[in-house]
Structure 1
């Protein structure tokens, strides 16, 4: 049987509260644009800040007050003035659960646009300064994607979608992800090949994808010759 990309998938493990994921957003959008005809894409919420780790910025992640500049310098992304005001006062609560539930709800509507939803959600937080703990941000995003905002918010309160978010968190642990963003190529045999662990530029990712495909193609050829 000839080597085929059928059932191959690129899995993007991100967290809405991860600044490096915000910086990586233009990269994963470009990769999706380049490879969406070859692979399926899936976005998984990592659950970076949950349970006892949640709390105000000043308490649970004061380092963000200076680290955001490193993200800007490395990736070229910009954090908006409205977010920097939240950063300065340090009172915004960081909790990954609600934005993860929102992603799960969104995937029940338009799964093929999950990368765009993740991008827009992070832009709303990190550029527009919207609070991810409030319904307002999710109403705004729902409308932008042509989804009834009342229905979207209603679904966010259903246990089904909370369970889906926590399934994503469990999958993240199963993949042994301990830093965000992370990117994997999954083949039809459910083998996972890590493409990115932390911020990675577009050119490096393209090279890694092509190298994995060459490796898999070579293995397929070897198996046919035996």
Structure 2
């Protein structure tokens, strides 16, 4: 029986950006288990913040900028703080999540995820805005028209909301989160932002 490692994330979650190098190493280390059908890796979108056209309140802006500073000092993660001076942030991550959902249908979810992170954290662009997401889509080889139609479909059918509900049902309420689904048993995998080997050991132990 193949177990499923669920990676619950939000493309606009700054801790997910901090976790990215370690997560990449963990995925590489799991490749042997994937190749032998012992495990599959399933991304799941968490949805930090619902759709909103309202500017982000100053208190939230300062809180998030402080979080970026904290991640940078503790993990060495690179951030472009010009975002907080030049962009017009909104507390809305659902559009970016929908973009990843759309890209999943053509096997490019991870590429979209990384393109959004690159635009947001390094290029100080706002992924709450559709034009930024279209740029990301084109960057990974998607056509703008088809991408926009697919985004509208995902929103109209509330496909993202259904996935977020599934994540909540599994108690995956913080991002990033890792959990191993083995039969009907869900085993939480504690995160280690600095070292993938501890998580690899936990996963192998849970599989045995």
**TM-score for the superposition, normalised by structure 1:** 0.78
Distance verdict in 2 for CA 1:46–1:133, change over 3 Å: same
Q: 1:106 aligns with which of 103, 106, 114?
A: 103
- CA shift at 1:139, angstroms? 2.3
- Whether the 8 Å contact between 2:191 and 2:199 is mirrored in structure 1 is no
> Any stretches of 5+ residues in structure 2 without a counterpart?
none
> Any stretches of 5+ residues in structure 1 without a counterpart?
1-5, 218-226
Distance verdict in 2 for CA 1:121–1:186, change over 3 Å: same
- CA shift at 1:95, angstroms? 0.4
- Alignment match, 1:119: 114
- Alignment match, 2:147: 152
Number of residues of Structure 1 aligned to a counterpart in Structure 2: 202
- Alignment match, 1:21: 16
Tell me the distance in 1 between the aligned counterparts of 2:167 and 2:24.
Answer: 21
Question: What are the Cα deviations for residues 71-120 of structure 1, in whole angstroms up to 9, with x where unaligned?
Answer: 1122221002xxx122246841120210111111111111xx43343222
Tell me the distance in 2 between the aligned counterparts of 1:90 and 1:150.
Answer: 25
- Whether the 8 Å contact between 2:75 and 2:194 is mirrored in structure 1 is no
Question: What are the Cα deviations for residues 25-73 of structure 1, in whole angstroms up to 9, with x where unaligned?
Answer: 1122222222134232221111112268x75152435312222121112
RMSD across aligned C-alpha pairs, in angstroms? 2.5
Distance verdict in 2 for CA 1:161–1:119, change over 3 Å: farther
- Alignment match, 2:135: 140
More moved, 192-201 vs 66-75: 192-201
Runs of 4+ in structure 1 displaced over 6 angstroms? none
More moved, 203-212 vs 159-168: 159-168
- Alignment match, 1:207: 201
Tell me the distance in 1 between the aligned counterparts of 2:84 and 2:195.
Answer: 26
Tell me the distance in 2 between the aligned counterparts of 1:198 and 1:175.
Answer: 20
- Whether the 8 Å contact between 1:16 and 1:99 is mirrored in structure 2 is yes
Distance verdict in 2 for CA 1:89–1:56, change over 3 Å: farther
- Whether the 8 Å contact between 1:23 and 1:77 is mirrored in structure 2 is yes
- Alignment match, 1:224: none
Q: Secondary structure at the match of 1:64?
A: helix
Equivalences for residues 1-226 of structure 1 within 5 A: 6-37=1-32, 38=34, 39-50=39-50, 55-56=55-56, 58-80=58-80, 84-88=81-85, 91-110=88-107, 113-159=108-154, 163-187=158-182, 189-196=183-190, 199=193, 201-213=195-207, 217=208
- CA shift at 1:183, angstroms? 0.7
**TM-score for the superposition, normalised by structure 2:** 0.84
